[in-house]
Amino acid sequence: MPTMVTITISGAGKSGALARIATFLVRKGYPLKGQQVVESAGAKVVKVSLEVSHLDRTKLAAELRSLSPDFRVVSVEGAESAAPSIKDMADRFPDIVSLVRAYGESFGSESRDRELVEAGKKIGAFLYEKEWSFGSPLRMPVALRRTLVPALETLGKVDASDTDVTLSESPFCGTGKIACCEFLTGFMQGFLDAGPLTQNTRVHKAECKAKGNPRCTYTFSYDL
């Protein structure tokens, strides 16, 4: 569900700053609902209101800095309470790393991995049906190379054999507050479960960079 988010931006003392920021946000596709200049501790700041399901604060801050190095995101109110939904991830795929992280962070450590697996399964199944379900169904390991690996390559660099997939720099592993690798376990499982001839394949996370291994590796077991 979209939430109203208020962002405070400093460095807006020059005339025309409000118009520049508002125009820039609209051009970037942000759903702008309101904007104003206010005085804060003797300096002018811009407050803008956006209606969004999830806000990538780091990305927004970088975009504003590209507009002017003076612009700084001081605070974001209302965003943190709204975890992205699975529909948000499906709509934004493959640009979902920040969404998956925010989704994972919304759960406690007890249930996080389980919830990430389930979310991954739904996204994997959705993607298979949307983009890979046309034509003759494939069996393993051909399905792995021709469908799953290309789908994974939209998320990061992948090395694959007939029985495993390795990501040396998985975007879901260990670069934020939490590791979200189990999302990929679920994604692969859901993708393969959706294929009529790959439903008996089992995905297992064998190595994880967040646990000290040099890479993230997932293995596949299946009957030929």
Q: Domain total for the chain?
A: 2
Which of the listed residues 19, 50, 77 is the one where a domain comes to its end?
Answer: 77
Lowest mean pLDDT among 104-108, 116-120, 199-203: 104-108
163 and 104 in one domain? yes
Q: What's the confidence (pLDDT) of residue 82? A: 58
Q: What band does 195 get if pLDDT is binned at 50, 70 and 90?
A: very high
91 shares its domain with 193:
yes
| Tokens standing for residue 21 | 């920021």
Question: How would residue 174 be classed by pLDDT, with cut points 50, 70 and 90?
Answer: low
Q: What is the tens place of the pLDDT at every residue in 98-109? A: 889 888 887 778
* CATH assignment of the domain containing 35: 3.30.70.260
* Dist. CA 224–CA 221, nearest whole Å: 10
pLDDT of residue 101: 87
Mean pLDDT of 16-31: 90
Look at residue 220 in the predicted model and tell me its pLDDT: 98
Whole-angstrom distance, CA of residue 201 vs CA of residue 181: 19
> Are residues 172 and 98 both part of a single domain?
yes
Q: What pTM value is reported for the model?
A: 0.65
Same structural domain, 27 and 93 = no
Can you give the CATH number for the domain in which 144 is found?
Answer: 3.30.1380.20
Single out the residue in 36, 58, 77 at which a domain terminates.
Answer: 77
Same domain, residue pair 119 and 144: yes
Domain enclosing residue 130, as ranges? 86-221
CA distance readout (Å), 69 to 11, 40, 65: 9, 19, 5
Looking at the fold, whether 91 and 182 belong to one and the same domain comes out as yes
Mean pLDDT of the 145-158 span: 94
Number of Cβ within 10 Å of residue 87's Cβ equals: 12
Whole-angstrom distance, CA of residue 77 vs CA of residue 213: 38
CA atoms within 13 A on the CB side of 40: 15
Which amino acid appears at position 187 of this protein? F
CA angle 207, 59, 81 (to 5 degrees): 80
Could you say which of 77, 101, 122 is where a domain stops? 77
Are 96 and 175 in a shared domain?
yes
